Amino acid sequence: MESLETTYIFESFKIPECRLSDDFQTLLDNPVYSDVTLVCGHKEFPVHKAILSARSKVFQAMFEHKMLENERSRVEIEDIDGDIMLEILRFIYTGKIQNIDKLADALLPAADKYCLERLKVQCEETLCTTIDKDNVADILILADLHSATQLRQQSIDFINTHLQDVLETVGFQTMIRTHPHLLADAYRAMASLQNNIICPPRKKQRTV
């Protein structure tokens, strides 16, 4: 009977999938017990202060500041489009993002504004895959403006490894005038790069 025992007792359990993210998506779609409405242009989002506060230090501070106002309050958000706010809220409620390929450039500033670090880096990664000689200056300016350090570094690296192609583009020429500090940073990185090529680290020399 030993083989039967093994067959039956250790049969694996069918454990239902974790529904945490899906359940909070349902709450976003059908926001019962919401206690504040975010207004972005023509779109209104009834949401939950508790959830927004738990996920974003910026919303937390905003609601603490607004607590003296009427209970069922409305918050006008003028600098973020409704479509972008929907994705911000989706990230806050579910940890997931949709349409990042289309929206990364607009989502990055919003993710930065609300201190959503993971979303911000996901936008940086998406934007990095779109870098070419014509847009790299604009992407560097965007990354610099919103402290997107990884995208900023990748943009500078791209410029320095494609310098001849990038140098004459309209974007790069504009950047030289409008954001000279970025040119200085790129130039400094190039110097460091050349230095590494000409003088590899000592340890490596010893092993050769």
Residues at the site binding its own copies, with contacts judged by CB under 8 A: 1, 4-5, 8-9, 11, 13-21, 23-24, 26-27, 31-35, 48-51, 53-55, 63, 94-95, 117-118, 121-122, 124-125, 128, 131, 150, 154, 157-158, 160-162, 193
CB of 7 to its own copies, least distance (A): 8
CB of 19 to its own copies, least distance (A): 7
Q: Is the dihedral of CA 22, 24, 25, 26 positive or negative?
A: positive
CB of 122 to its own copies, least distance (A): 6
Nearer residue to its own copies within complex by CB, 21 or 174: 21
Q: Any residues with CB less than 8 A from the CB of 161 and at least 6 apart, and which?
A: none
CB of 78 to its own copies, least distance (A): 24
Nearer residue to its own copies within complex by CB, 1 or 208: 1
Q: What CA–CA distance (Å, rounded) separates 26 from 156?
A: 41
Backbone angles phi, psi at 57, to 5 degrees: -60, -30
Nearer residue to its own copies within complex by CB, 27 or 58: 27
The H or E element spanning position 6 is helix 2-9
What dihedral angle (degrees, nearest 10) is formed by the CA atoms of 74, 80, 83, 88? -80
What single letter denotes the amino acid at residue 30?
N
